[in-house]
A and B are shown apart, each in its own frame.
Chain A
Amino acid sequence: MIALKVDNLSKTFALPRRLFGPARPGVRAVRPVSFQVEKGETLGIVGESGCGKSTFARMLVGLLEPTTGRIEIAGKALDTADPAAFGRLIQYVFQDPISSLNPRKTIRQIMETPLRLLHGMTRADRAARIAEIFDSVNLREEFLDRYPHEFSGGQAQRIGIARALAAAPEIIVLDEPVSALDVSVQAQVLNLLADLRAEFDLTYLFISHDLAVVEAVSDRVVVLYFGAVVEIGRAESIFNAPRHPYTRLLADSAPVVGRPLTAPEQRDTELPDPLNPPPGCAFAGRCPRATEICRAQDPPLTQMGDDQLAACHHPLDP
């Protein structure tokens, strides 16, 4: 069963109009993206800063209006006008656990809001449900009457996860959920997420810049570059046998114990300018394999191998 289907979703941010001269074209933060996610699957989304992964995530949960395209959850197209309708189907866990909790509200007030507004539960039902969720995320109930600043990052992130669970969604978008946490706590939270997925039959979209973490938690991985999908593949194979040179560059750049220090890239490479995007492949300026066609034509996402897709004119050999 398909839990989430994204069709040609894109976002262009309008630039402020100039006093004189023609209207400017706007910044294309996300180019048309299409994919689907099976129920119970974890889809990893990796990319560097500015690749559009947060913009993409915010469109998925309805916090940002897409410029084109549609989102279907469990076969139904979503109406972007009503965040509450989104809220019952898809929830979001934020990167910064502390700043995603209102500093002037107790944890109980924060936890009750989705139960009351999305599901209209009575007070007794709410208390029972909160107790149940807190038990699932290994938090003590005495935390409920405290304020967010009293918690460590790991605890606050559990509260953020608990809030997302309270809405009883089908899908949870996890936007860098562990990058603000220490490694020992990071592992606790990642394992908790894996347990919850099984317990509540959830589908995850896991966004991160950390390839090793994404590989450890995902079934499939989408690699984004400059607002577009450059490669999709199974987590176990995409970094071992990348087809797109950018995926290879990412995999080679991650510091790994036992690998000597090398800069995998020439030092004077320039990143593409979002205000003045290159005509062809956005990666051509950094790519050792780039030729004339790359600078002229944007490569489409094509099937390569059984379950791998890459957008490249000169893909790497598997």
Chain B
Amino acid sequence: MSGFLKLLFRNRLAAVGAVVLGTILVLVLITPLLPLKDPNVTDTANKFIPPFTEGHLLGTDHLGRDQLSRLLHGTRLSLAVGLAAAVIAATLGSAVGIIAGYFGGRTDNVIMRGVDMLMAFPYILLALAIVAALGPGLLNALIAVAAVNIPFFARNIRGITVSLAGREFIDAARLAGKGHTRIILTELLPNVLPTIVIAMSTTVGWMILETAGLSFLGLGSQPPVADLGSMLGKGRDSLITDPHTSIVPGVMIFLIVMSVNLLGDGVRDALDPRLKSGALSRPRAMTAVNRKGPVPETDDKGLLNIQNLETQFHVGPRVYRAVNDVSLHVKPGECLGVIGESGSGKSVTALSVMGLVASPPGVITGGAVRYAGEDLLGASYKSLRTKRGENVAYIFQDPLSTLHPLYRVGDQLAEAIQCHHKISDAKARARSLELLRAVRIPNAESRLRDYPHEMSGGMRQRVGIAMAMANDPDVIIADEPTTALDVTVQAQILALLDDLRRERGLAIVFITHDFGVVAQLTDRVAVMYAGQIVEQGRTEEVLSRPLHPYTRRLIACVPELGGGRRRLEAIPGLPPMVDKLPRGCAFAARCDKAQDSCRAAPIALSRDGDRAVRCLFPEEALRKDAS
């Protein structure tokens, strides 16, 4: 709650709104206690007295009634009616929305078509019709305003409920013996409540305005009782001769609606999880680079050479050290595997190469990434952009979320090509067709016109690969490209990548958590744990003769087909959080060989040619003599 308030008041406009609205609320709450004149006593001898006169601070109206007193009483009434309408509309609308969204099917259809019919009438016309049917009066105006706002809540809440009702925790609740009423009240309601509050805070001002509108037309509060709308309506008759009678209630309506809306927007921004997660602070076009130490000298290893890379996430006071001192390189025609569990920093390493780590909060704090000798971390955004896709391309895990859902795949491929090369649409189209054929999509010609959702997962990932190949890059970074696919499809995609690399001399960095895939596809492999490389070497050597205890035990964890029924090896415990990395070896807490010396100081990576290990007590000694 205090976090919410802090967030809310960081928004200055919302704070102004809160102060204004708070003042008005306090004033109208204490109105009956204030030494004011009776708002309804007429005194025609003193009509149209201008403001700031003795005894009548805001003057009097056409019947000589005190404006200040009428204003405060009227505001009291208007606010009460507006808020009551908002609460009624929110309650009924949300109930309708939750029921429609939860039960779905025919119930949903009938309810929502009814709501649609309600929405088909122009707003004010519907309110007028309701008041005309019920007769004028403040209570009837309240009913009318609430009724016309029910569809807004119903539609909003139904949308949220539909997505929640498909979630697994609802199924779990049903299996735990909960009936429909219990599920709606105890499982769904707590999850939609923030949305209801947001919707209410943004519509309450509108409802106050509508009530005032009905009163202005003479359909709301009846004389002599004042509310803001009826004061304005009466003031209109003498707008030219005595403008103060309409300006006073007009200014009050303005202040109320403005402050409610400013505060409502603030509440929405502070509560909405999408905005909270940083949608308001759009990441920059490239990752921020703030290198503390000197840039490492080039050592001419490989086409893509990552040297001592350090990438961190700065979130408030916490620093997440996602990548620490990672060095990798890959030569043309070579496939380098990077293996690790979630949170080991393998994806952040890959994204750092082309400056794709979201910034803020990501910052590259050290090291260098060299493509053909040039340091990409020091490069300008323009130079980096010409290299993205043209020299170094990416393939991501989920092609459904990386392909744009509203464009045909052919157009997306052509766009990727035309970003880098000024060629005609016809030529780009021909090239797209060629690419789809290269990744072995059957009926490529007709597939060009498909939308991503019309393709199967395997086909989409082929399009993802085709897009990465679009500009003939030298390096492809593939981040778990087959994890979301079925095994039979995975086998085809892996074979395709292997063919492409042999045919075109591509350098591939392949990120995965699967040892089987690493064994089949890669030449060399780096094992990552808690943001560091713990072991590196030729794939068959690392797999057959792991040096780091983590590698050995991780391999043992993976069941292999053909082993029959058995108990699996497990590594107890969890990887450390990267904002609380231990001083020494990050694996020491889970390692059965750990000594005090492991925990005392950072462990260096000891090298021997291609082979490297970060361990004081490796499974076998690293042969320093042979190279």
Task: List residues of A whose CB falls within 8 A of some B CB.
Answer: 48-49, 58, 61-63, 83-84, 86-87, 91-92, 94-96, 99-105, 113-114, 117-118, 152-154, 160, 163, 167, 182-188, 190-191, 194, 209, 211-213, 215-219, 235-236, 239-240, 249-265, 267-268, 270-271
Contacts and interface: CB of A to CB of B under 8 A. Distances in A.
B562 A255 contact: no
The 3 closest A-B pairs by CB, nearest first: A255-B516, A117-B177, A263-B495
Given A212-B560, A256-B516, A100 B491 contact: no
A270 B492 CA distance: 13
B294 interface: no
Given A100-B171, A167-B176, A255-B517, 18 more contacts: A49-B457, A99-B168, A105-B190, A114-B177, A182-B513, A183-B554, A187-B559, A190-B568, A191-B568, A212-B560, A216-B565, A249-B488, A253-B487, A253-B488, A255-B494, A256-B561, A257-B543, A258-B519
B342 interface: yes
A113 B574 contact: no
A211 B516 CA distance: 13
Contact of A182 (B341, B491, B519): B341
29 contacts: A62-B175, A63-B171, A63-B174, A86-B175, A87-B176, A91-B175, A100-B171, A102-B169, A102-B191, A113-B178, A153-B342, A167-B175, A183-B554, A183-B557, A187-B557, A188-B570, A209-B487, A215-B564, A215-B565, A217-B565, A235-B564, A253-B488, A255-B516, A255-B517, A257-B515, A257-B516, A263-B491, A265-B491, A268-B440
Given A215-B564, A216-B559, A264-B488, A163 B520 contact: no
Contacts of A49: 457, 486
Interface of B: 167-169, 171-178, 187, 190-191, 341-342, 440, 442, 456-457, 486-492, 494-496, 498, 513-517, 519-521, 543, 553-554, 557-572, 574
A184 B571 contact: yes
Residue with the greatest number of chain B CB neighbours at <10 A, chosen from A167, A187, A191: A187
B492 A265 contact: yes
Contacts of B564: 215-216, 235-236
A198 B466 CA distance: 50
Contacts, number: 195
A255 B519 contact: yes
B520 A259 contact: yes
A215 B172 contact: no
B491 A63 contact: no
A246 to B, nearest CB: 9
A212 B571 contact: no
Contacts of B457: 49
B557 A268 contact: no
A5 B410 CA distance: 50
Nearest to B572: A188
Contacts of B517: 255
Contacts of A113: 173, 176-178
Contacts of A91: 175
A183 B175 contact: no
Nearest to B577: A152
A265 B493 CA distance: 11
A259 B520 CA distance: 7
A213 B173 CA distance: 28
Contacts of B175: 61-63, 83, 86-87, 91-92, 114, 167
A212 B487 CA distance: 12
Contact of A118 (B176, B442, B495, B561): B176
Contact of A239 (B519, B562, B566): B562
A255 B514 contact: yes
Contacts of B565: 215-219, 235-236
B560 A256 contact: yes
Nearest to A255: B516
Contacts of B495: 261-263
A82 to B, nearest CB: 9
A253 B490 CA distance: 8
A263 B174 contact: no
Contacts of A185: 341, 574
Contacts of B178: 113, 117
Contacts of A262: 491, 495
Contacts of B496: 263, 267
Nearest to A88: B177
B177 A118 contact: yes
A212 B559 contact: yes
B162 to A, nearest CB: 15
Residue with the greatest number of chain A CB neighbours at <10 A, chosen from B516, B564, B565: B565
Contact of B561 (A152, A217, A254): A254
Given A63-B171, A104-B190, A184 B554 contact: yes
Nearest to B553: A184
B572 to A, nearest CB: 7
A182 B570 CA distance: 11
A109 B566 CA distance: 36
Contacts of A253: 487-488, 490-491
A200 B424 CA distance: 69
A258 B515 CA distance: 10
Residue with the greatest number of chain B CB neighbours at <10 A, chosen from A154, A209, A212, A268: A212
A196 to B, nearest CB: 13
A250 B174 CA distance: 35
B560 A257 contact: yes
Contact of A267 (B167, B440, B566): B440
A247 B21 CA distance: 70
Nearest to B569: A187
B41 to A, nearest CB: 53
Nearest to B498: A261
